Amino acid sequence: MAAQPTTRPTPTLARSRQLEMYRRACKTMPGGTDSNFRAWGEDTIYVDRGKGGRVWDIDGNEYIDLRMGYGPVILGHGDDRVDDYVNERMRRGVSFSLTSEDEVEALELVKELNPWVGKARMTVSGTEATMHAMRVARAYTGRTKIVKFEGQYHGVHDYALISVAPNNVADLGDEDNPVGLAWGRGIPEEIASTIIPARYNNIDRLRALFERQGRDIAAVIVEPVLGNAAGILPQPGFHKAMRALTEEFGILLIFDEVKTGFRFARGGAAEFFGITPDIATYAKAMGNGYPAAAFGGREEVMSVLPDKVSHGGTYAGNRIAAAAARKTLQILRDTDALETIHATGLRVQAGLKEKIDAKGLPFHFTGHPAMFSVMFTDTVATEYRDWANTDHELYDAVAVGMHARGAMPEPDSREPWFMCEAHAQGDIVDKVVTIFGESLDRALELRAQRRELPHQDDATWGKSPSSH
């Protein structure tokens, strides 16, 4: 008699229309997509629609969405409150290169929720927000260099793409002397050399760096948690010590709140960790998926605008983005959406913990219940280099298995799961936990049989780095 299988085999997703679309798209778009991060080879997903916490691809496969567009969709897809308001406003015209009340109100809300912000301006993307924040910091201090931490992602401009997330952490150089690793070609050496890579959670090394080069350093830019490296958390006291150190050396502190803003708390990670930076960048949750973004800072720092620093953009503060930000921020301010999201994240985590504990695997949650990752490891990761020592192959296999069973986290262990308000509805939490459990069972079974674990074809992530 055949032994009872311990797990059901991984279901197969319908893929015929997506494969056809992939082949068609590849004739026009490099990798068949508009972003390297979405280029998953023949597994590239072509979306049809989303509603609430769910998303459907063009083959009709339904998933509980745990990517939420890499974080922006904080309320849920197609949120009627936001969409109705945006629809009403867009009929008045979307692009004038003139300023609307929606923009003023949206940025007043940014200030209200982040009371330390004196002035702010809208941009269209997080990339632009960090680019302008760096320029403002350079203009204000009259210094050139910017410190960024290994494993942190601040968008796709040249100053941001240094020491981001190589697959091989050895590419980051010696632990005592990290190299500036440009992500891909085309970034001039002269620009890359203005960015100094540093190791997160290591205040002694930061002090030593400031003592050596502090007079040239305009700012430290930091994702308050490593939001693009599994949400690795600051050690107790790290942010406070970094704040004190930057003040001591006259260096500005830029909180890149593109992922954490309006998510960790209404006042973002600055409120959550009790830190007052000098400048912050916002995007993602600010507009529930519409392309709203901003940078803001202390009154004195922002006073370099408009006379001394260039900032503009045809679409900066466009009607759609401004209306979406106005409505989304009002909802986050006036309702208990964030409390619901946090509670839902905790429920999911409790369910996952049960499943993992049942297998006796060492693991940690990183990040925040609204944006968290599972790291299979028995030591707590404190910086990007530690990610390499986690069992990320197991994680990736579980994530791929989840897609086939109807839930969609990013199939890369470095990207956190994002919770939205709509995930609290119906049986979503229970389903996610069940799907995770089945996928974990299957991945462990494959490993026990010494078979190759499934993983996503990551066409570009971490490939072709060149160091400076």
Ligand X SMILES: Cc1ncc(COP(=O)(O)O)c(C=O)c1O
Catalytic residue annotation: 153, 256, 284
DSSP state of 11: P
Q: Pick the piece of the chain touching ligand X (CB under 6 A) from 18-26, 92-100, 125-133, 351-359.
A: 125-133
Q: Which of 109, 258, 320, 322 binds ligand X (CB under 6 A)?
A: 258
Pairing of strands 177-178, 252-256: unpaired
Residue 321 sits in the site that holds ligand X (CB under 6 A) = no
Rounded to a whole number of angstroms, the minimum distance from the CB of residue 288 to ligand X is 14
Q: Pick the piece of the chain touching ligand X (CB under 6 A) from 120-128, 266-274, 295-303, 444-452.
A: 120-128
Residue found by looking up tokens 């990761």 in the block? 381
Strand order through the sheet with 145-149? 119-123, 293-297, 279-282, 252-256, 217-222, 145-149, 195-198
Residue 223 sits in the site that holds ligand X (CB under 6 A) = yes
By CB under 6 A, the count of residues binding ligand X is 16
Rounded to a whole number of angstroms, the minimum distance from the CB of residue 72 to ligand X is 8
Q: For residue 459, what are the contacts with CB-CB under 8 A and spacing of at least 6? A: 31, 36, 39, 40, 41
Rg (CA), the chain: 22
Q: Pick the piece of the chain touching ligand X (CB under 6 A) from 84-92, 126-134, 320-328, 369-377.
A: 126-134
Q: Pick the piece of the chain touching ligand X (CB under 6 A) from 121-129, 138-146, 351-359, 440-448.
A: 121-129
Q: Which is nearer to ligand X, 286 or 435 (CB)?
A: 286
The helix (H) or strand (E) run that includes residue 109 is helix 101-113
Q: Which is nearer to ligand X, 151 or 351 (CB)?
A: 151
Residue 154 sits in the site that holds ligand X (CB under 6 A) = yes
Rounded to a whole number of angstroms, the minimum distance from the CB of residue 280 to ligand X is 11
Residue type (1 letter), 108: E
Looking only at residues 293 through 312 of this chain, which bind ligand X when binding is defined by CB under 6 A? 293
Query: Residue 152 and residue 383: Cα distance in Å, rounded?
Result: 10
SS3 at position 133: helix
Query: Residue 342 and residue 192: Cα distance in Å, rounded?
Result: 38
Helix ranges, 60-99 (H): 80-90
SS3 at position 68: coil
Please give, one letter per residue, the 3-state secondary structure of 349-409.
HHHHHHHHHHHCCCCEEEEECCEEEEECCCCCCCCHHHHCCCCHHHHHHHHHHHHHHCEEC
Q: Which is nearer to ligand X, 126 or 454 (CB)?
A: 126
Q: Which is nearer to ligand X, 107 or 443 (CB)?
A: 107
Residue 234 sits in the site that holds ligand X (CB under 6 A) = no
Residue 103 sits in the site that holds ligand X (CB under 6 A) = no
Q: Which is nearer to ligand X, 406 or 462 (CB)?
A: 462
Q: Which of 33, 44, 127, 163 binds ligand X (CB under 6 A)?
A: 127
Residue 363-402 contact track with ligand X, rule CB under 6 A, x = bound: ----------------------------------------
Q: Which of 126, 224, 267, 345 binds ligand X (CB under 6 A)?
A: 126
Q: Which of 61, 163, 228, 246 binds ligand X (CB under 6 A)?
A: 228
Q: Which is nearer to ligand X, 226 or 251 (CB)?
A: 226
Question: Across the strands, what pairs with 147?
Answer: 196, 220
Strand order through the sheet with 364-368? 364-368, 371-375, 417-418
Query: Residue 189 and residue 219: Cα distance in Å, rounded?
Result: 20
In the complex, which residues of this chain contact ligand X (CB under 6 A)? 70, 125-127, 130, 153-155, 223, 227-228, 256, 258-259, 283, 293
